[in-house]
Structure 1
Amino acid sequence: MDDLAQNASPDGIPGRFTTPVGPQLLRGALEVERTDHGVLPYRLPAWARRQAPAELTEVVAQPAGVRLAFRTRATAVELDVLATTTVYRGAPQPPDAVYELLVDGRPAGRAVADGGNGPAGRAVADGGNVRTVDLTTWAEVLTPGLPGTVRFTGLADTAKDIEIWLPYRGIHELIALRTDAPVEPAPDPGRRVWLHHGSSISHGSNADGPTGTWPALAAARAGVELVNLGFSGNALLDPFTARTMRDTPADLISVKIGINLVNHDVMRLRAFTSAVHGFLDTLREGHPTTPVLVVSPLHCPIHEDTPGPAAADLGDGRLRFRALGDPAEAAHGRLTLRVVRDELARITAARAADDPHLHHLDGRALYGEADFAEFPLPDDLHPDAAGHRRIGENFAAHAFGSAWAR
């Protein structure tokens, strides 16, 4: 505990302790950068961020799957944060960024900055930076704001393991952790580490909180430690992502490939095939026998047979997406979800002849036509909270119950 340099809080309240936030208290982050205000967790290392386009460097600063983990007897926990929220001009306001508390692995509270405890958790202060983006020109304006505080109180006065899961949306600089008892880093749980890469649906999209994303739900069901490299709009087979995964310790690896390649219209079938092989080759350089699961796209009607790009549509006052490509061009190498699924199945089958630790899962086993009928995609691209629960349940059953996870 001494190496955390815990001190009495500046407010002078007896029995209060301030603990610096750093790598020793964080899980799910690959790097932690010190800022003018505190620390900022990243899901790609600095060398990879230097190679990444600007839109990805923002995404990897969004802490999907990142959580503070510590042991304490504290009955009250406060976390000072400076959040940066992105809003889109003309689109509905995004929901509040929710922080979730787990005590000994069980849900124990939800809060927003300056919002206190409780299941509702609407923000009561106007703290934090706001980044306003024009969807037509992509011009942006940053309005500076002030830090806020996330509070959890009324906890039992017993030794316990606490996790605070950070919001998957927005950027969150962590300034100070305050408690009414000393803290120490949580012990290693001894669970297998699951390293996952995917798109905005893996990142979180419309989940109802950080533990409600489908990877978090699946990890909880399977009892594994999640490292979530779901990058909204940026699952594009980038070589620096493959090299990062190559160098990241993991017991299980999954890569969900396809939707961003289609809706960004970034490559044709010829390049796609080589890029998939290259990505898998790089993973194998660092993980020669680690089980790897290649997951093809979920069911998404707008792109099943229609290539990208996709465009945002605010015509009826709410955000929806539509595909702009010509279905006839799939015959000339334009990617659709159906084309991607067929090629991923072919590639993994061919490679598995020499790689018994490589596995394939059709994404429609996670979210198919029947799931779409029950839980439609509200914006025609991303699932809602119920959809995330269905995908997480299906992944736990199909993937963690398969040879990949043994």
Structure 2
Amino acid sequence: MALAAPLAASSGFVPDRPDLGHRAEGRDLADPAFFESSLDPTAPRLLPPAAYRALAFAELEDDAVWTRAWLAIGLAAEIPSPGDLLPFTAGHHGLHVQRDEAGGLIGRFNKAQHGGCRAVPLQCRTGTKTRCSFTACGYSRDGTVLPAGRDGLSPAMHQYLGLRPERLLPVAVRAWGPLVRINLDSEAEPPEAAPRGLAALANETRRAEFAANWKLAAQALAEGTPRAEGPHSLDLTGRLATGEAAAITLHFPNLVLIASGSETCAIMLQPTALGQTLLRIGLLGPEGAATSNLEASDLEVSWAAWRAEIAARLAPAVAVQAALGVLASPPAADAAGLWLQQRIAERVGARPVPTQTQPLYATAQGRDC
């Protein structure tokens, strides 16, 4: 009997195998031809629907994007004290950043990447992050910041750190202005320079979740007219729903900064399902405009205004995600969408190609026993 085609390699209860390829809906998702029709600057279009609904493409992004780029995960002000811990799941990898005794930041992989299960359960292998009460892993949803307690580690924090956190695999971490950015490559080159003169207006991030793939969400949040382009960022100008002028920057892959007046809204994107994106939202302002100088009521007004702006921007993305099954052809992409798709295509093309395809172990059945 002929072996099954590689189409099944990235679906169902099968660990990701880049050497087997990333295929879905009859196409090789890593083939440059998959991206070609969407990267024409004269008539840019969104990627084919598989890019927004196929687990195989999420696996490809894990291999090409989430494990090879600087990711924004939160505010440094969220973990002010030694021992405080900020969790973030990057693709299929559970990570955390912790404040050390000297005031610096330490990044690590979590204790268990698959929940300590004998194998990743089928319900955790669908592209949807699972609410798991057992442990923090690469297939579960992140909790909120864990503050250090007077009596040492809490049981919840132990799920991230284990008994010997110094033995956990390190993650590169940088304080990037008021934000925290990480890279799974502990020896990665530093990220681009952070914007100057910004500080956190509130020592917290708030969360909102929308039914749209992270790429659609990023494009919608960064809607505007391109002004300047860097190796890892795109500057745009635009207007808020209220008509006010705004300066927008999309930092690849998951950070959008929208500045208007004296405030900047920092939006960090995190996929929680194939068609769902969690936003971690922070409020930034000029250095010196500390939280203590602002009335709580003023902050709440700002939070409400930015939440309304984000919802208005993301409404078209949610509509496109819902219509993927009935669209005759991919709709047009705007400047931010084209730029983002170009960067993803570049990352996919630059991935190291596996040269060793021999399994690391063989079952008795595989040895013809």
Same fold by TM (over 0.5)?
Answer: no
**Structure having greater relative contact order (Cα 8 Å, sep ≥ 6):** 2
TM-score normalised by structure 2 residue count = 0.25
